[in-house]
Amino acid sequence: MLMIIYWGFPIFLFLSGVMVFVFNCKHLLVMLLSLEFMVLSVFLIMVIYLSLYNYEMFFSMLYLTFCVCEGALGLSILVSMIRTHGNDYFNSFNVLQC
């Protein structure tokens, strides 16, 4: 029963983040927040897995470092999109525009 809670809760968190990412693609900020939520749930799964088999946590720190870089890149894209287009709607952003 305890293993179901250990593995079920992070998987439920990841799937709820995927559902928000798929069904709510109107604002860039909401999509970035759902991506960060999925990243944190994958980190929780990785910590549970590494602690279950008594591995070192070095890889989790490396993973968090790359996650912080990913978050900073997402925020920089959000800021540049708001500066150029005035909002973070995907409808007003044309990808093919030069």
What residues does each domain of the chain span?
Answer: 2-85
What dotted CATH number matches 2-85?
1.10.287.3510
pLDDT digits (tens, 9 = 90+) for 4-24: 777 888 899 999 999 998 887
pLDDT digits (tens, 9 = 90+) for 48-67: 888 888 888 888 899 999 99
pLDDT digits (tens, 9 = 90+) for 62-95: 999 999 999 999 999 889 888 888 887 776 666 5
The answer for residues whose C-beta is within 8 angstroms of residue 46's C-beta and 6 or more apart is 59, 60, 63
Residue 71 has a CB neighbour count (10 Å cut-off) of: 15
In whole angstroms, what is the distance from residue 37 CA to residue 43 CA? 10
How many whole angstroms from its chain centre is CA 67? 8
Task: Classify residue 49 as exposed, middle or buried by CB count within 10 Å of its CB (0-12, 13-18, 19+).
Answer: middle
Coil, strand, or helix at residue 89? strand
Residue 1's pLDDT band (boundaries 50, 70, 90)?
low
pLDDT digits (tens, 9 = 90+) for 37-47: 999 999 999 99
- pTM as predicted: 0.82
